Amino acid sequence: MSKYDSIQTAAELVAEVQAHGLSTAQEDICRAQDIFGHTSVEELARLANDNGRNNDQGQPDPQGSWSSGRRPTQGTFYSIAFSIWNWEDATRFWNLHTNPERQAWQEDKRIVGELQHKVMVAEIDRDAAKNLLRASEKKASDLIDALTDAEHGVIASLDEVKAVGHRVAHGGEFFAESTLVTEEVKEKIRALFEIAPLHNPANLEGILSIEKVLPGTPQVAVFDTSFHQTIPAINYMYALPYAYYEKYRVRKYGFHGTSHKFVAAKGAALAGLDLAHSKIVTCHIGNGASVTAVLDGKSFDTSMGFSPVDGLVMGTRCGAVDPSAVTFIGDKEGMSYDQLNAMMNKQSGVQGLTGLSSDMRDIDKAYHEGDERAILARDMYFNRIKKFVGEYAAEMGGLDLIVFTGGVGENSDEMREGVCRGLEFMGVEFDAEANKGARGTDKILSTAASRVKVAMIATDEELVIATDTFNLVR
């Protein structure tokens, strides 16, 4: 009998994990580790404390979402998400997804899945889903075997896989769009290890692994940074000595590009705008968060910079800060560069401000209980987003649409209202009733009379990767 047979809901799983004294911030690593074959939640707790958990840029996600990750220094897990798509009818029919808030038992939608790294298959009942989960209880290196499992697999043989798409964190100035993987492309990804040490090595390892398992199968690299390569120099350059740009390519690169590209296009369609003649601000708000100015369908500016630490107040990242404040702290505390980097990336944000959590659900709870530091942290978090919306509207000379997406963006009605409140002078008429309780869907959140539309769009970066892969190999 499988240990999963008795679990019927996500709530039951969370209760089981919490019964062993794990914090909210550790639950998702436990789900992943348990599915990948570790024997006890106690061991998972130890590994969680050793490793933490990482999402798209190496930080915890408040909605439990891991898009890709790195091999930790201790433990034996990978953070993986992938889908198998059938392009005859554009169906995603095998999906290792990651968001327990958005994905629950929804048999009426023909979607199965509630656990981190759980296989989700369309048109399948709950019992079959559990069998698939058991079929995928293998280490990451063995997961490919589950695809062709005689009893539970979704393809007859690996020959059915005609192409593989990969999310790659950093494309530098090399890649302004997705590209077929070649030896030259792999060398360029490797050349960027220095400025993306947490992610590009793992991304390249995924490409090399597929080469061994599926030799000769075309592969496509889709870069988080490529959408932002249209940003003009006035917005991507830093006012540092120009020699450092020439020597080291120190500049703004931006991240979450795949998501910003997707939701800008989908939001424009929902709002009835012509993407090619529009002014849109997209807000990808999760534990890692960024805002992008999308002018006529192209990235014009974005809040993350040379690294993902810049811009917004985030879960554990400080966002924009006077560099002299950081060097002052380093001097007083005798901290090394690595320690300062860790402080800004892993010990700051709402976690650092409150001392409570990096999870906005925990911050919301403390806020409503009157915790003064939680009130300060949440107000700063909301206000920083609002500042970038206003800044980017000024840069573009106007605004047609504000889009919210990401784990917090799609689930926090309080955040969306908090950001839009006070923007009436710009032409925003926010519909509080439409916003109330809206989660994980595509919806207009402004009134019919609003000159500037507001929308919530459920991002789907996997669809962008699948689409780019299909188009490049077609």
- Tell me which H or E stretch contains 443: strand 443-444
Q: What is the DSSP string of 116-174?
A: TTEEE-SS--HHHHHHHHHHT-S-GGGHHHHHT-TTT-SSS-GGG---EEEEES--TTT
Count Cα neighbours of 48 within 13 Å in the Cβ-side half-sphere: 24
**Torsion angles phi and psi, residue 361, rounded to 5:** -65, -40
- Inter-residue contact 367 to 382 (CB < 8 Å): no
**Torsion angles phi and psi, residue 199, rounded to 5:** -125, -45
Residue of 432, 287, 457 lying closest to 362 (CA atoms): 287
CA dihedral angle for residue 404, residue 406, residue 410, residue 416, rounded to 10 degrees: -40
Q: Dig out the tokens for 179 from the structure.
A: 């590209």
Which of 28, 34, 61, 224 is the catalytic position?
224
B/e letters for 21-49, b = 16+ CB within 10 Å, e = fewer, are: ebebbbbbbbbbbbbbebeebeebbebbe
- Inter-residue contact 345 to 322 (CB < 8 Å): no
* Cα 27 to Cα 16: distance, rounded to the nearest angstrom: 10
* Cα 221 to Cα 310: distance, rounded to the nearest angstrom: 25
Q: Dig out the tokens for 393 from the structure.
A: 């509207």
- Inter-residue contact 455 to 444 (CB < 8 Å): yes
Q: Give 351's contacts (C-beta < 8 A, 6+ positions apart).
A: 315, 316, 357, 358
Tell me the sheet residues that pair with 111.
Answer: 106
- Inter-residue contact 401 to 269 (CB < 8 Å): no
Residue of 147, 56, 148, 160 lying closest to 96 (CA atoms): 147
- Specify whether the backbone of 288 is left (phi greater than 0), alpha (psi in -120 to 50) or beta: beta
How many residues make up the chain in this entry? 474
400 tagged catalytic: no
- Just list the catalytic residues: 224
